[in-house]
Structure 1
Amino acid sequence: MGVGDEHQRLAKFHTAYAAIDQVDTPPKTTLEILKKHYDENYWNRFLKYFLDPTKPHGFETTVLRHFLELLERRCSDFDFDRYCVDEVRVDREVGTPSDNRADIVLRYETEWFVWIEMKVRATEGDRQTDRYVRDEYVGDVRKSEFDERNQFYVYLAPEGNEANASEFVNLDWSSVVDDLRSIQQTGSKEQPFRSYAQFVDFLDTIHNETQMTKHEEDRQEKVQLAIEYYDSIRDVDDAFEKVLKEHKEEWPVRFEPYAPESWKESWHYHTGKKKLTFYKRSWTVAYVQQDEDVDASDPLRPYFQHVMSKDRIANNELYLKTQLTGSDSRLRQDFQDYVYNIEVQERLQKMATKIEERPGCEVQLPSRDDRTYTRFTKATYPIEWKNGEGYYGTLEQALEDHREVMRIFSEAVDYAND
């Protein structure tokens, strides 16, 4: 495929990508943080808590009434007395003498009961719902005490997951959430804030688990784009990697046209890695080879470092930091004592303020840190790559801006060596 064809394909990719709504990842719900968002037992506890009007959530009978009204619409022949909702009993994990167990049972005296079987990710066990219908008990009460027409069974599960027993009415979680959201819209002023937040959090957990969120839809669209344009994306990415590798290996040579006249004679530097260090010969207290990397085993080594990475280049930025390392703790301590005295910090602050007057530039002056590797300044500059010319031109400007750091490092080395 020619370069022109690749440009056309990438243009189509860009158009398709731009059409996807960029939705931020939503905050996680409590159960998602705990990695329990698919745990049926936790859903059971939450649902039972909010359905039960005797619990201290502040919703009283509101949630239960909404749920029962939903059952009225789904279960033929089911109806309930609106004036007696507070007398409805709500139990969870209700066992029978036959060793069957209902996830939740709603029961009003011996007028009616609703046996609820809940599913989150699992499907029905071996003839599970048939066994529940045939069981002669609901809890420790004989079903015969209830009119046969007032015995109801509900299979509460994600859409498409249905009960085997025909007596069970299939109710999907999405319908429950949609119905209870109306409480969310009106309830914040009536319930304690904690209860309201817990209720909304539970509804969000159900929604996120049972339905594809907008964020997930967008991710799926991006995956499809990645598959469709995989060859073109990989080809461009490989070219990016190769060019970046060449620059990391050759950056001192490529920088020479922009560097000060004393660059070759005054500086050590290393190549080939993402983090590219360089430092003045006069700053070291141990002899080093030209391409030798910064090593914490040297007694004292202050240095500059620029980070040439795909992320930085793609974000159109140059990142330059100044640091210190060394194995001699006394030398490091004396060096930092000098750099962090008030007068020197004022000089650095003045330098940083001047740099930040340039659009898009940011400088940080970290607090003192006595670890083996200590950062003194961190600066970010906007760049235009322009085959590397923009990068090296900006690096030249950054070094010019950091002349004060060079002077301070030279002074600090002399101070530490006295």
Structure 2
Amino acid sequence: MSVEKQLQELVQRLHRLPNLDEPLPTTLQILGRNHQERDWQRLLFYFLSPGRGHGLDHRFLEYLLSSLSKREDLNYTFSRLDLLDIQVETEVVASNGTRPDGILWLPGDWFICWELKLRASETDKQTEAYIDASSFPSIDLSKDEISVDNRHYSYLAPEKKSSPEATEFVQLSWEWIASELQAFLAKSQGGIRHGRRHSSTTSSARYSRN
């Protein structure tokens, strides 16, 4: 019997298992690190970075950027023609010494600055400091190169968390990210190589159950 047939039979048997009262733990729950902001940051931006070893190439980056462009509150426009030129970096150093959790940017065109929160609230007016910074020297990105309309800021936190101090930041929820991950996996069914990579992404999609 071929490996493919064996896997199909395994999937059928798994589908026949009774539902559990408690959801299966996520990867970060198993490691006891599901309340560490830095680990959620690394996990999210790992899958957003095309050059990493997850096998998704640009697919998840494209999917999430497309979803962001459909949000009326962000006012962001995405073009697939730019996909190969989009850069992704975490822990970016700003000109005033602050460190946004991550930046996605198209050189000379636009950027999205990210601040991520789990349990803690914003401290020391972080978001206002990111707005005030004139550049991000660690990635050679000057705000003068980007029109004001193409400077985007997102504040990613659990639902019902307090709003960011800077009004320029658009509040996104981890629950929204989870729903987008699940929709991406459903759309990509059968198109993602190696099941173990698929399951790792699924684990990261269930933030709301932590």
Question: Does the alignment reach a TM-score above 0.5?
Answer: yes
CA deviation vs aligned residue, 1:256-299 (integer Å, no higher than 9, x gap): xxxxxxxxxxxxxxxxxxxxxxxxxxxxxxxxxxxxxxxxxxxx
Following the alignment from structure 2 to structure 1, what is the Cα–Cα distance between the partners of residues 195 and 187? 13
CA deviation vs aligned residue, 1:175-206 (integer Å, no higher than 9, x gap): 111122112223342222221111001112x1
| 1:89–1:108 CA contact under 8 A, matched in 2 | yes
> Scaled by the length of structure 2, what TM-score is found?
0.83
CA shift, 1:23, in A, is: 5.2
SS in structure 2 at match of 1:115: strand
CA deviation vs aligned residue, 1:49-88 (integer Å, no higher than 9, x gap): 1011122212122211121122212344310211221221
Aligned to 1:56: 53
Question: In structure 2, which of residues 27, 37, 42 is the aligned counterpart of residue 40 of structure 1?
Answer: 37
Q: Larger helix proportion, structure 1 or 2?
A: 1
Aligned to 1:26: 23
Aligned to 2:156: 156
Runs (4+) off by over 4 Å: none
Aligned to 1:138: 136
Q: What one-letter code is carried by the residue in structure 2 that aligns with 1:197?
A: S
| 1:63–1:183 CA contact under 8 A, matched in 2 | yes
In the TM superposition, 1:373-384 aligns within 5 A as: none
CA shift, 1:111, in A, is: 0.3
Of structures 1 and 2, the larger Rg is shown by 1
CA deviation vs aligned residue, 1:326-361 (integer Å, no higher than 9, x gap): xxxxxxxxxxxxxxxxxxxxxxxxxxxxxxxxxxxx
Aligned to 2:91: 93
Aligned to 1:182: 183
Q: What one-letter code is carried by the residue in structure 2 that aligns with 1:40?
A: E
Q: What one-letter code is carried by the residue in structure 1 that aligns with 2:157?
A: A
SS in structure 2 at match of 1:59: coil
CA deviation vs aligned residue, 1:115-155 (integer Å, no higher than 9, x gap): 00001111101211111101111344221111111101000
Following the alignment from structure 2 to structure 1, what is the Cα–Cα distance between the partners of residues 41 and 131? 20
Following the alignment from structure 1 to structure 2, what is the Cα–Cα distance between the partners of residues 174 and 30? 17
Aligned CA distance change for structure 1 residues 121 and 167 (closer, same or farther; 3 Å) = same
Q: Which runs of 5+ in 1 are unaligned?
A: 1-21, 210-418
Q: Give the number of aligned pairs.
A: 187
SS in structure 2 at match of 1:94: coil
Aligned to 2:125: 127
| 1:103–1:116 CA contact under 8 A, matched in 2 | yes
Following the alignment from structure 2 to structure 1, what is the Cα–Cα distance between the partners of residues 94 and 131? 12
Aligned to 1:79: 77
Q: Which runs of 5+ in 2 are unaligned?
A: 1-18
Q: What one-letter code is carried by the residue in structure 2 that aligns with 1:51?
A: L
CA RMSD of aligned residues (A): 1.7
| 2:95–2:136 CA contact under 8 A, matched in 1 | no
Following the alignment from structure 2 to structure 1, what is the Cα–Cα distance between the partners of residues 47 and 124? 30
Aligned to 2:107: 109
CA shift, 1:25, in A, is: 2.5
Following the alignment from structure 2 to structure 1, what is the Cα–Cα distance between the partners of residues 52 and 83? 14
CA shift, 1:166, in A, is: 0.4
SS in structure 2 at match of 1:175: helix
In the TM superposition, 1:197-208 aligns within 5 A as: 197-204=199-206, 206-208=207-209
SS in structure 1 at match of 2:184: helix
* Paired-residue identity, %: 31
Q: What one-letter code is carried by the residue in structure 2 that aligns with 1:29?
A: T
SS in structure 2 at match of 1:91: strand
> Scaled by the length of structure 1, what TM-score is found?
0.43
Aligned to 1:165: 166
In the TM superposition, 1:189-338 aligns within 5 A as: 189-191=190-192, 192-204=194-206, 206-209=207-210
SS in structure 2 at match of 1:84: helix
Q: What one-letter code is carried by the residue in structure 2 that aligns with 1:142?
A: S
SS in structure 1 at match of 2:186: helix
Q: Which has the higher contact order (CA 8 A, sep 6+)?
A: 2
